[in-house]
Each structure stands twice: as C-alpha cells, then as structure tokens.
Amino acid sequence: MSEPLHIAVLGTGIMGAAMARNLARAGHRVTAWNRSGDKAAPLAADGIAVAGTPAEAVADADAILTMLYDGPAVQEVVAQAAPALRPGVRWIQSTTAGLDGAAALAALAAEHGLVYFDAPVLGTRAPAEAGQLTVLAAGPADDPVANAVFDAVGAKTVWTGPDGADASASRLKLVANSWVLVLTHGIGEVLALAKGLGVDPQGFYDLIQGGPLDAGYAHAKGALILDGSTDQASFGLDTALKDTRLIIAAAEAGGVRLDLAEAGAERFRRASAQGHGDEDMAATYFASFDE
Ligand code: NAP
C-alpha cells in the first residue's frame, strides 16, 4: 500500500486490541472503539485514536474491522455505526460469528452498500500480538484495502471464495476450530487422568515428544494447566463455549452429528459454572473434578 488507510477497529478485547496495534504499527491511521472504554484507552499510547461511539469510530474510515464476541454483538454495534458509514467502505468481519451469524452480517453489509469480507482468523493472543495470524478470507481477493489490513494483522491470508456472503471462510474456521477444541479438551482430560492415576505428566510428554502423537496444543494448553496459570487467558473459556455452540449448530444444519463437540460443550459449561468462564479454555481441565 502506498497510501496509509484509515481503519476503524470495533472491539478491543484480546484479539481486537492486538490487531489494532499491528495496523497502527504498519503505518495506518487507526480509530478504535470498545463497549468498555477502559479496554480501549491504553491503545492511545500506541498512537490509536479512541472513539466514544461506534459511529464516531467509523466516520471517514476506509475500512472497518469488527472483532467482537459474537454475531449479535456485531450486528448491534454496526447498526449503531451505520449512520456514519459511506457505501463502498470495506467491512472486514473477523468475529467468529457462525454460519447464521455470518449470513445476517452479510445481509447487513448489503443493506448499507459495504464491501463485505467474511474474514475470521486462526491464531490466539500471542500470534495476534505478533501480527502472525492466519486470516481466512472470502470476498474480492484483489481488493487492496482488505489486503493491506490482512497483511498488517496476519502472516498468511487463505482466500476461500470470491463472495463474503457465501461464508466459505467461516465454514473453514468452524472446521478448524473443532480441531482446536478437541485438542484442548484432549489435553485437559489427559492431565486430569494422569493426576487421578498418580502418573507424572512428564512421563506422558516424554512418550509423545516429537512423534505422531505430539501436538503444539498439548504443550501450550498443558503448560497453563500444570503451571496453574489458566487465568492467563489467550482464548477465554466462555468464548470457546460460544464457538462450540456455533460448531454444533452448523453441524446440525449440515446433517452431521458431533458427539465430541457436545461433550466439549458440557465440559465448558461445567467449568464455567465452577467459576472458570473468564479463564483460558485450558480450564476445561477442571471439569474433570468436583469443586
Ligand atoms: P474478548 O477478549 O472477550 O473480547 C470480546 C469483545 O467483544 C470485547 O471487546 C467486548 O466488549 C465485546 N463485546 C461483547 N459483547 C458485546 C456487545 N453486546 N456489544 C458490544 N461489544 C461487545 O474476546 P476475543 O478473544 O478477543 O475474541 C473476539 C472474537 O474473536 C470472538 O468471536 C472469538 O471467538 C474470536 N477469536 C478468538 C481467538 C482467541 O484465541 N482469543 C482466536 C480466534 C478468534 P467489553 O470489553 O465491553 O466486554
């Protein structure tokens, strides 16, 4: 990009704040808004303008990036921003919204004449902070504005189709997330079982190390459990429960039965009821014990 862009970031939680910082680092003018102002205020130190309302944030923006909790939250916030949006503005929708959510958001974009990109991301807090996300994108792939945004927040963009309204990127995201969630519950249960059987977890790690049973997630999520640091959330447990429900709904619509996702939802629900909802999803571990 020769010209810096003006990009409005709506939602500065774990992921949105990191993405806003990387857009600013890439030389773009960034305006951010968050429902709870205290999470957006620190971004001012990174040269990011903090807006008081969604409409104020998107005024004169070339592109808006939504990174909120779920589809209904995005719908609500973009409806508030709508009076200040010009037709032709690019809307990069990165919230994990599920298939019904993505369809509703694409319809909202069409209503306001926005160029819509279904653009969920793979990667969690650390890759988001490092600008190393993988962006899954559906929409016009030659769009220079969208590509400038993706280049600033990600290491790689995987284009899945030419029309954001088809939600092909969201479909791939749900498939990938189902794998992430199975791995997370898997290591949670392995470490709970090891504890119950009096097995040193290191013995398990030594067995799988470097072989076909090894997985980065077994180490990353396992470390949070073993260090007692599940309160350091990269991917919040309640957010992971929301994503599990989106996967189950999409599977049902596609005529597919997912027993592991159902069981995973129950583990997250139980851990959340125990008070672990704001912790990392690795806290699925606690669902194996009565607390
Ligand atoms: P987060 O830290 O919990 O942030 C959620 C954001 O949504 C906050 O800015 C929150 O505002 C806002 N929000 C929630 N409900 C709202 C509402 N009704 N109206 C306005 N704003 C609302 O979550 P995150 O981890 O950044 O995740 C954001 C999205 O990315 C989710 O869809 C998640 O599934 C997806 N995702 C997450 C990861 C990850 O590893 N963390 C990876 C890939 C994708 P407040 O601050 O006011 O609560």
Full pLDDT tens readout for the chain, 291 residues: 558 999 999 999 999 999 999 999 999 999 999 999 999 999 999 999 999 999 999 999 999 999 999 999 999 999 999 999 999 999 999 999 999 999 999 999 999 999 999 999 999 999 999 999 999 999 999 999 999 999 999 999 999 999 999 999 999 999 999 999 999 999 999 999 999 999 999 999 999 999 999 999 999 999 999 999 999 999 999 999 999 999 999 999 999 999 999 999 999 999 999 999 999 999 999 999 997
Every domain of the chain and the residues it spans = 6-166, 171-288
User: H/E/C letters for each residue in 265-290?
Assistant: HHHHHHHHHHHHCCCEHHHHHHHHCC
The CATH classification number of 171-288 equals 1.10.1040.10
Residues 6+ apart with CB under 8 A from 87: 112, 113, 114
The pairing of strands 6-10 and 154-161 is unpaired
Report the candidate in 62, 70, 120 with the shortest Cα–Cα distance to residue 91.
62
Taking the CA of residue 12 as reference, the ligand 1 atom at the shortest distance is 9
Provide the pLDDT for residue 191.
Answer: 98
Whole-angstrom Cα distance, residue 40 to residue 24? 14
Whole-number pLDDT of residue 2: 54
Query: Comparing 6-166 with 171-288, is the CATH topology the same?
Result: no
Q: Give the global pTM.
A: 0.97
Burial of 111 (0-12, 13-18, 19+ CB in 10 A): exposed
| Contact status, residue 235 vs residue 220, Cβ threshold 8 Å | no
Ligand 1 centroid distance, CA of 160 (Å): 24
Q: For ligand 1, atom 30, name the residue with the nearest CA.
A: 95
Within 6 A (CB) of ligand 1 lie: 11-16, 34-36, 39, 67-70, 73, 76-77, 95-96, 121, 124, 234-236, 239, 243
C-alpha R_g of the chain: 20
Give the pLDDT confidence score for residue 291 in this predicted structure.
74
Looking at the domain 6-166, which fold is it? Rossmann fold (3.40.50)
pLDDT, residue 228, reads 98
